Homo-oligomer: A and B are copies of this chain.
Amino acid sequence: MLNPNKILSDYQLRKTNCRVAVLNIFIQNQHIGLSETYLEHHTDGAFDRATIYRTLNTFQEKGVIHRILDEDNVVKYALCIDTCSPDHHHHEHIHFKCTTCNTTTCLDEVSAVEIQLPGGYTKKEANYLIVGVCNKCNAA
């Protein structure tokens, strides 16, 4: 189970109200891209917008979250940390953006093949996004 306090201490970040609150929302929405606006609303405006932006930037620099490619001109973030594999298999998850219902989700069933980088390249992280129409919208 992901725990905000553990994540913060693991990443050597001070435990503050804003960080814990933001982290909790990310944990509850694993693999789903969240925008600053979403976080602001879902913390009941308890924190200043600037603070949330600073939190997001800090988290991103430390590698707690990463930006997600999204088609609707909104920048979103999601947790880098993954619980699904206890053995820390580190399979890259694939995000799927539905152009009909406009949601971005994670295709847990599918795992991306590890891509072989050319010589001299070092990987820090990878993001895969497929844009299309999801099963629900195709059925409707």
A123, B132: Cβ atoms closer than 8 Å: yes
Q: Which of B96, B119, B126 contacts A129 (CB 8 A)?
A: B126
Q: Which of B66, B120, B136 contacts A138 (CB 8 A)?
A: B120
B131, A118: Cβ atoms closer than 8 Å: no
Report the contact-size class of chain A (Cβ under 8 Å from the partner): 35 or more
Q: For the complex, is A133 an interface residue (Cβ under 8 Å from B)?
A: yes
Output the least CB separation between A116 and chain B (Å). Answer: 7
**B residues near A50, Cβ cutoff 8 Å:** none
CA distance in complex: A126, B71 (Å): 11
Chain B residue nearest to A125 in the complex (CB)? B131
Known: A67-B71, A69-B67. A135 touches B123 (CB 8 A): no
